[in-house]
Structure 1
Amino acid sequence: QPQLQIAIDRGAAARYGINVQDIQDTIEAATKGRAVTEIFEQERRFNLVVKIGQPGEPAARLRDVAVSAPNGERIPMSQLAEFSRTDGLAEIFRENNVRRLSIKWSVRERDMGSLVNEAMQKVEATVKLPPGYRMVWSGRFEDQQRALSRLYVIVPLVVFIIFVLLFGAFNSMGDALLIMLNLPFALIGGTLALYFWQSNFNISAAVGYIAVFGVSVLNGTVLVASIRQAFADGLPLREAIVRGCEIRFRPIIVSAIVAVIGFLPAALSQGIGSEIQKPLARVVIGGLISSTALTLLALPAVYALFAARRREPEPALPPAATS
């Protein structure tokens, strides 16, 4: 943007005995005006601004503006300052009273984390900032890093709380750990869904993992509870496992199908905001498919294996004494 720069000649001002502040005040009054008093209208207050009005081109007007010397002489501004036209910044942005220049770019067909890390390495190798300057990678990348740092605390805390609740519900550490096996079951499906859909991992995908963790743990809880109930009713272990799977097969399958159908529009959407919806929906769909299948197939087999090991053989009775 074109700018008019005015450099005050301090030597000339000293020769005429004019204070630099008086020259600056004159320039201010000639350009934007100077507030000299205030006007009150009921409860409202307005500044009364005085501005020098002269016809002609602005730069020529400023050169002709006269400044009063102590001896009463009127000295034109052209003898007290140098005028030059240059190109300058249209806007100056500041953050915490520090000038800031933003360079914006968008990410396409890449995950943000790896792309920004690659860009940081290349920039550090080629760009050398002068003293007093610093570079900050902000925007969505900064928000992502901040959210990931929170997830590093939230996810282990959620897993621990789930384990505590399961242990309190079943009073058995083995059953609680067995149900927690559904978490890697869901993790496998969500990761494969991102891979086959060629989606990048982001914060919405991490939220999808947390959501599918809850559903998979719920399915494992109801299945194990049904098996334990059948075993408590007097059925042998193998029949109790079969009976529990028969009872919970339909509810688990139907709930998974309903959730998958509900998330399909978001997983296949292409409109505005789809870059946030698609990773979450695809993780949930893949996690539900894998966790449902492995809950009904692998979890009963693992339960039978651990339950058989926990059942201790009854001690043999000593032979009765004969006379």
Structure 2
Amino acid sequence: MPTATGPKKLQDLAKVDRTKVVQQVTTSNGERIATVTLTPDENMLGKVSKEVTTKLDSVDLPEGASAEIGGAATEQADSFNQLYLALLAAVAIVYVIMVATFKSLIQPLVLLVSIPFAATGAVGLLLISGIPLGLPSLIGMLMLVGIVVTNAIVLIDLINQYRQPSAERAAMSLEDAITHGARQRLRPILMTALATIFALIPMGLGLTGQSGFISQPLAVVVIGGLVTSTLLTLILVPVLYRLVESRKEKRAARRANRKHSSQQQTDSADLALAMNSATAKITAPASESTVQGEKPEKSETDLTDKVESKTSKAPVSNDPVVHPMTGQIPSTRRERRTIEEMINKSPKASED
């Protein structure tokens, strides 16, 4: 190796040893990092992430060092959070639409009861089949929100129609409306649910080829949710509806009774006031007649004078005058006097 004093050997200038070093150094934000990657089996990402998290919690790292999980596990966690928000938004939108449709705040809550039971059936079938909860399963849950509520809406809407009078029939009572409505909607609800379940069975069995890792969990969730929600919709929803509406009818009856009693009290008070005023009007003329009876009696001469003066007045006829020849009614006083003179002369001529 050339130097200022001439060529020299490397072993005279430095000590050379063979050691193992990192071939590539990776930094992030000025800090040195090391990445360990692994590829889990199909549909095992959640299970592997849970086990890795458990192992990392039990590892004692040196001071200044830390370990985090990234990659597909982090993306899956973020996707789960977004789907949870989507589920809440879907439930809220369905509730608002049903409030506008039924014009009630309580009845839509009765319909939304079927959603938790659908989730129960979906999770139960996932546990039975051994399929882990993943993104396809949550997408199936999101589908169930609309599918499950449809059956309950069809049932409650018919019951409300039976409780309203129509041209063909009178309004039914609460119990009769629930009985007839559940009987009429039993077959359509079962047929639609069974048709959807049988259509998803091939996907649930994994017979769809390469897309089975997505379609199978989704189909299993929908099948399990439909089975439990359909049975509970036909049993639990009518019971909850009857409890809610019977209390509402009792409150309305109590308000009507209070209003009727107050109206009766008002009517009785008005009647008493009217009777008092009528009694006062009856007694007033009697007192006046007694006062008039005390006046001096008039003489017979005065009475005869009044009778003569009354008889001296000519009677005034209000009958209409008609022309005897033309049958017309006079429009002026002059024509009326002329027609009256003609009528008066005609009897005299007949007498002569």
TM, length-normalised to structure 1: 0.65
The match for 1:138 is 70
The match for 1:128 is 61
Residue 173 of structure 1 aligns to a residue in which SS?
coil
1:240 corresponds to 2:177: yes
Residue 126 of structure 2 aligns to a residue in which SS?
helix
Distance 1:85 1:304, change over 3 A: same
Distance 1:157 1:119 in 2: 32
Distance 1:225 1:14, change over 3 A: farther
Distance 1:119 1:218 in 2: 42
Q: Which runs of 5+ in 1 are unaligned?
A: 1-11, 18-74
1:252 corresponds to 2:154: no
1:2-151 to 2 correspondences below 5 Å:
12=1, 15=4, 101-107=35-41, 112-126=45-59, 128=61, 135-151=67-83
The match for 1:267 is 204
Distance 1:16 1:243 in 2: 113
Distance 1:149 1:238, change over 3 A: same
The match for 1:47 is none
Q: How far is 1:285 from its partner?
A: 0.3
| Number of residues of Structure 1 aligned to a counterpart in Structure 2 | 253
Q: Determine what percentage of the aligned residue pairs are the same residue.
A: 25
Distance 2:109 2:100 in 1: 12
Distance 1:297 1:152 in 2: 28
The match for 1:307 is 245
RMSD of aligned residue pairs (Cα, Å): 3.7
Q: Could you report, residue by residue, the CA deviation over 1:51-103 in whole angstroms, capped at 9, with x for unpaired residues?
A: xxxxxxxxxxxxxxxxxxxxxxxx9xx99xx9999988898889899876442
The match for 1:169 is 101
Distance 1:263 1:90, change over 3 A: farther
Distance 1:102 1:172 in 2: 57
The match for 2:314 is none
Distance 1:16 1:297, change over 3 A: farther
The match for 1:188 is 120
Distance 2:72 2:187 in 1: 43
Distance 1:14 1:240, change over 3 A: farther
The match for 2:130 is 198
Distance 1:88 1:251 in 2: 72
Q: How far is 1:198 from its partner?
A: 2.3
Distance 1:16 1:207 in 2: 78
- The structure number with the bigger radius of gyration is 2
Which one has a larger percent helix, Structure 1 or Structure 2?
2
Distance 1:160 1:171 in 2: 16
Distance 1:273 1:87, change over 3 A: farther
Residue 158 of structure 1 aligns to a residue in which SS?
helix
Distance 1:236 1:137, change over 3 A: same
The match for 1:44 is none
Q: Could you report, residue by residue, the CA deviation over 1:191-234 in whole angstroms, capped at 9, with x for unpaired residues?
A: 22112222221121111111112111111112111111111131
Which letter does structure 1 place at the counterpart of 2:53?
M
Residue 272 of structure 1 aligns to a residue in which SS?
helix
Distance 2:36 2:29 in 1: 15
Distance 1:88 1:258, change over 3 A: farther
Distance 1:85 1:156, change over 3 A: same
Which one has a larger percent strand, Structure 1 or Structure 2?
1
Which letter does structure 1 place at the counterpart of 2:223?
I
Greater displacement, 100-109 / 191-200: 100-109
Q: How far is 1:127 from its partner?
A: 6.3
Which letter does structure 1 place at the counterpart of 2:39?
W
Residue 136 of structure 2 aligns to a residue in which SS?
helix
Distance 2:146 2:196 in 1: 13
Q: How far is 1:303 from its partner?
A: 0.8
Q: How far is 1:141 from its partner?
A: 1.4
The match for 2:227 is 289
Q: How far is 1:237 from its partner?
A: 1.3
1:212 corresponds to 2:144: yes
Distance 2:103 2:58 in 1: 58
Distance 1:92 1:249, change over 3 A: farther
Q: How far is 1:242 from its partner?
A: 2.0
Greater displacement, 279-288 / 84-93: 84-93
